[in-house]
Amino acid sequence: MTEEELKYSYFDTEPVSDEILEKMDEMRKKGKLVPDLTLIKRPSQIAGIREAGRINTEVLDEVTRTIHAGMSTQQIDDIVREFTAKKEAICAPYKYDGFPKSVCTSLNNEVCHGIPARHRKLQDGDIINVDATTIFHGYYGDASRMFEIGNVSPKRKKLVEETKKCLEIGLAAAKPWATVGDIGAAIAKYAHSRGYSVVRELGGHGVGVDFHEDPFVAHEAKAGTGMVLVPGMVITIEPMINAGRAAVVIDPYNGWTIYTRDGSDSAQWEHTILITETGNEILSY
């Protein structure tokens, strides 16, 4: 049996509990959108995803130890690639739909999917998001962190701090039998109260046995809408918060990097979480 087949074989050997199935049926009768059973991870799958998440966290810890003004974003990519290889794991972004590097490095007004390059040097006052995804034995861990380089302006520092608060608020809303809309509603309410906008075109997602799975986790949404969060689901929450307007544009040359349309700064923090029967567990941060 191949590794891919092994991942899905747990669907048969580790069934979803009767209690969860009954609750899902109850929610379905109320008109709620419930997940397909393949989106509910089984214990053996969760163990694999948890290990991939642990390695992914270590990758970002290594970046935290080494990032500094004057280094290039390509050096960050080198660190991620080499450290991941030492862990006998794989950098998921590399060659994913043609993405040319092992990690995303998004500076200042880059919302996400920044491509590392030798000529992109970190300068005093920059803010940068480093977004890493690791594959280990076929399972995925995904997270990103913001870094402040040197003497960052109070405005940028506040954006970074408030975006992290948005993530924390989203995590608090990610409860069993709530909906993905509850996450987006909570994040957007807080972000708007602080004078920021929320990127709507991009969001969190299911993850674990693939890089991107259902559901899409919007960070601006209506409470009570979207897919129900069932224990066993694994998702990312990764709010992208802009200092200016919400509109974004894609780089016409590389086809990947997303910028704020008005040139304002943007920040993002991302965790991978497991929905549990009592709340959630952070698997990668």
What are the pLDDT digits (tens) for 255-264?
999 999 999 9
Check whether 8 has a pLDDT greater than 70. no
- Please report how the helices 180-193 and 154-173 are oriented relative to each other, as an axis angle in degrees rounded to 10: 150
Q: Is residue 123 included in any domain, yes or no?
A: yes
Task: Note the pLDDT of residue 13.
Answer: 64
- What's the structural domain count of the chain? 1
Run of H or E residues at 214:
strand 213-217
Q: What is the CATH number of the domain that holds 137?
A: 3.90.230.10
Q: Is residue 177 included in any domain, yes or no?
A: yes
User: CA 226, 227, 231, 234 torsion: positive or negative?
Assistant: negative
Summarize the confidence of residues 39-47 as an average pLDDT: 98
Q: Binning pLDDT at 50, 70 and 90, where does residue 14 land?
A: confident
User: Cβ(205)–Cβ(227) under 8 Å?
Assistant: no
Check whether 270 has a pLDDT greater than 90. yes
Residue at token pair 């590389």: 254
For residue 55, give the amino acid letter. Answer: I
For residue 279, give the amino acid letter. Answer: G
Summarize the confidence of residues 279-285 as an average pLDDT: 98
Domain that holds residue 176: 33-284
Q: How far is residue 247's CA from residue 90's CA, in Å, rounded to a whole number?
A: 33
Q: Is residue 15 included in any domain, yes or no?
A: no
How does strand 213-217 pair with strand 240-242? Answer: unpaired
Q: Is residue 11 included in any domain, yes or no?
A: no
Q: Binning pLDDT at 50, 70 and 90, where does residue 6 land?
A: very low
Task: Note the pLDDT of residue 131.
Answer: 98
Task: Note the pLDDT of residue 237.
Answer: 99
Q: Is residue 226 included in any domain, yes or no?
A: yes
3-state DSSP call for residue 234?
strand
Q: Is residue 219 included in any domain, yes or no?
A: yes
Summarize the confidence of residues 241-248 as an average pLDDT: 98
Task: Note the pLDDT of residue 285.
Answer: 98
Q: Is residue 131 included in any domain, yes or no?
A: yes
Q: How far is residue 196's CA from residue 155's CA, in Å, rounded to a whole number?
A: 12
- For residue 215, is the peptide bond before it cis, meaning its omega torsion is within 30 degrees of 0? yes
User: Cβ(252)–Cβ(212) under 8 Å?
Assistant: no
- For the chain, the first-to-last Cα distance in angstroms comes to 32
Q: Is residue 243 included in any domain, yes or no?
A: yes
User: Cβ(241)–Cβ(268) under 8 Å?
Assistant: yes
- Please report how the helices 43-66 and 73-86 are oriented relative to each other, as an axis angle in degrees rounded to 10: 140
Run of H or E residues at 55:
helix 43-66
